[in-house]
Amino acid sequence: MTKHQKSMHTFIILFLGIVASIMVFLPALSYNDSDSTFTGFEVVFGTEFFNLGSFGSGQIEFSILGLIAFISPLAASLIAIYAKKGMLIASALFTLAAVLLFTLPAYTTATMRIGETFTEIDINWSMAYGLIIAGILSIFGALFTLLNVLYKNLQT
């Protein structure tokens, strides 16, 4: 692999990881029955989506899996670039990120408080464009790093 090819591969891997992780600031989930959308940041760290004072409120809860989903692409790209034999690990992390991102609607928890009673509510979430882009970039990252591993193995 020439020096130019190596620097191009490094740039592509870093680009995929950074952009996939930055998608946390774009809309990730939407609620079909209203015009409400929530950014990946709100979905991961939680947010209150309605507040009736002491009568009740509704919120999205913090999600450790969501945090892992959005951090994994960046971690994968850094491991691929800085670890000597990190491409296979990076491919696994990109794959993990894609799976977690595309299943984010299934494990996002919302709760409602009425008075002093807390209840988990079932919301039919839809994926918004930020989540879809992050998932697709993670798939490309997984494929690109895996192809990089295969190419290096064919060279030896």
> 52-64: per-residue pLDDT in tens?
888 889 999 999 9
Residue 68 lies inside a defined structural domain of this protein = yes
Residue 137 lies inside a defined structural domain of this protein = yes
Looking at the 3D structure of the chain, how many domains does it have? 1
Asked if 109 and 154 touch (Cβ cutoff 8 Å), the reply is: no
- Residue 102, φ and ψ in degrees, nearest 5: -75, -15
> What is the domain extent for residue 82?
3-39+64-107+125-155
Distance (Å, rounded) from C-alpha 76 to C-alpha 86? Answer: 8
> What is the length of the chain?
156
Residue 44 lies inside a defined structural domain of this protein = no
DSSP state letter for 127 = E
Residue 7 lies inside a defined structural domain of this protein = yes
Among candidates 13, 110, 127, which has minimal Cα distance to 60? 110
Asked if 30 and 90 touch (Cβ cutoff 8 Å), the reply is: no
Residue 29 lies inside a defined structural domain of this protein = yes
Distance (Å, rounded) from C-alpha 70 to C-alpha 76? Answer: 11
Residue 45 lies inside a defined structural domain of this protein = no
In tens, the pLDDT along 16-69 reads: 999 999 999 999 999 877 788 999 999 999 999 888 888 889 999 999 999 999
- Strand residues in the chain grouped as ranges (E): 27-31, 37-39, 47-51, 56-60, 110-114, 117-121, 125-127
Q: What is the pTM of this model?
A: 0.90
Residue 27 lies inside a defined structural domain of this protein = yes
Residue 114 lies inside a defined structural domain of this protein = no
